[in-house]
Amino acid sequence: MRGEAVSVSTLGTTWTPMSPAQRDQFERDGYLILPGALSPDEVGRYRAAVEAVYRTKDAVGRLAPDRSLHLLSAVRNCPELAGLIDHPAVFPLVWSILGWNVHVYHSHIDVHPQLPGPKPAWWHWHQDGGRQNRELETDPRPRISVKLAFWLSDVSRPGRGNLTLIPGSHRTNWLPGPPRRDLAWPQPDGAVQITVEPGDVVFFDRRIWHARSDNLSPVTRMAVFFGYTYRWIAVRDEVADLWRQPWWQELSPVQRQLLGGAGDGSGDHLWGHDPGSTPLYRELAARQLLDPGYPPLIP
């Protein structure tokens, strides 16, 4: 129910760091698929929450003309999703790659019903991060953020609005494409439609070249995406007064950190100057999972 118990506490659950084989695969391909990360019960619960949001937005005329919903700030708009942001089956992938000084900077709920036919040409291919892809000068650009995509519908065949990506493209700064987004253009070489079952999660490097595809099937596509980055990078989601929400107190300290509510709100804290009051650092320390590769600034 909206505004009531929203979080799934991870206390008492096991956190398993990314394995060396997963790391090798992630470094090589730029993404991992985690089959069955959510149980069928969880899929049912999170689906129901997303469907409720969809109905609410429909009632106030906020769906796109094709009746799709692409809604930023996932937890603000659907607090029942808070249990996904540190889901024990996949959150360890995030801190294994980025360390403990992280937050969710960009998230979205996506509902895509069947389209009557292919949409007019539009070049959707991109790397995440917006102007990071103009303003960072290295080649390849640094990773900086990763994303978890939680699949709540059956996208086990192509043509169902699959996430499309180019494996191994995360170290390529430039993808040849049309001079204007609305020009018809062939799919890039090597592009694959990712096939997933409800409850699967895709974990990807923000730099991987990716695009949503059209859902031409009768199965409404439903997914929730959470992007994580370092706390010294600004949050794109709306988080300004989340702490005033009635459900905020029910979140765990790590969930609050991920939603911008850790420390004293100062820039110093965001820079990671006080690991002792940074919940994810504390949690990893308590579980003896701190990576010596991410030491505090002043030992």
Ligand X SMILES: O=C(O)CCC(=O)C(=O)O
Extract the tokens encoding 85. Answer: 């942001």
Q: Measured from the CB atom, is 226 or 281 closer to ligand X?
A: 226
Does position 210 interact with ligand X (CB under 6 A)? The reply is: yes
Question: What angle (nearest 5°) sits at the alpha carbon of residue 183, between those of residues 178 and 184?
Answer: 95
Structure tokens of 14? 């096991």
Question: What's the min distance (Å) between Cβ of 86 and ligand X?
Answer: 19
Beta carbon of residue 250, minimum distance to ligand X (angstroms, whole number): 27
CB of 112 to ligand X, least distance (A): 8
CB of 237 to ligand X, least distance (A): 13
CA distance 104 to 239: 10
Minimum CB distance to ligand X, residue 227 (Å): 7
Which uninterrupted H or E stretch holds 70?
strand 69-72
| Pick 53 or 163: Cβ nearer ligand X | 163
User: What whole-number distance in Å separates Cα of residue 106 and Cα of residue 28?
Assistant: 24
Q: State the DSSP code for 249.
A: G
Shortest reach from residue 72's CB to ligand X, in Å = 11
Work out how close the CB of 70 gets to ligand X at its nearest, in angstroms, rounded to a whole number: 8
Site string for ligand X, 161-200 (x = CB under 6 A): --x-------------------------------------
- The nearer residue to ligand X, 42 or 128, going by C-beta atoms, is 128
Question: Which residues lie across from 230 on neighbouring strands?
Answer: 102
Residues 215-254 that bind ligand X (CB under 6 A): 225
C-alpha 293/C-alpha 287 separation (Å) is 16
> Is the peptide bond prior to 188 cis by the omega test (within 30 degrees of 0)?
no
SS3 228: strand
Of residues 29 and 110, the one with the C-beta less far from ligand X: 110
Residue with smaller CB distance to ligand X, 211 or 285: 211
155 and 162 in contact (C-beta within 8 Å)? Answer: yes
Among 29, 128, 200, 283, binds ligand X (CB under 6 A): 128
Residue with smaller CB distance to ligand X, 141 or 210? 210
d(CA 110, CA 149): 10
Smallest distance from the beta carbon of 278 to ligand X, in angstroms? 26
- The CA distance from 260 to 102, in Å, is 9
Give the separation between CA 142 and CA 15, rounded to whole angstroms. Answer: 26
Binding mask 88-127 for ligand X (x = CB under 6 A): ----------------------x-----------------
Q: How far is CA 184 from CA 63, 120, 169, 173, 188, in A?
A: 26, 8, 22, 22, 12
CA distance 39 to 192: 26
Count of residues engaged in binding ligand X, rule: CB under 6 A: 7
Among 212, 269, 273, 282, the residue binding ligand X under the rule CB under 6 A is 212
Between 115 and 289, CB nearer to ligand X: 115
Which residue ranges make up the site for ligand X (CB under 6 A)?
110, 128, 147, 163, 210, 212, 225
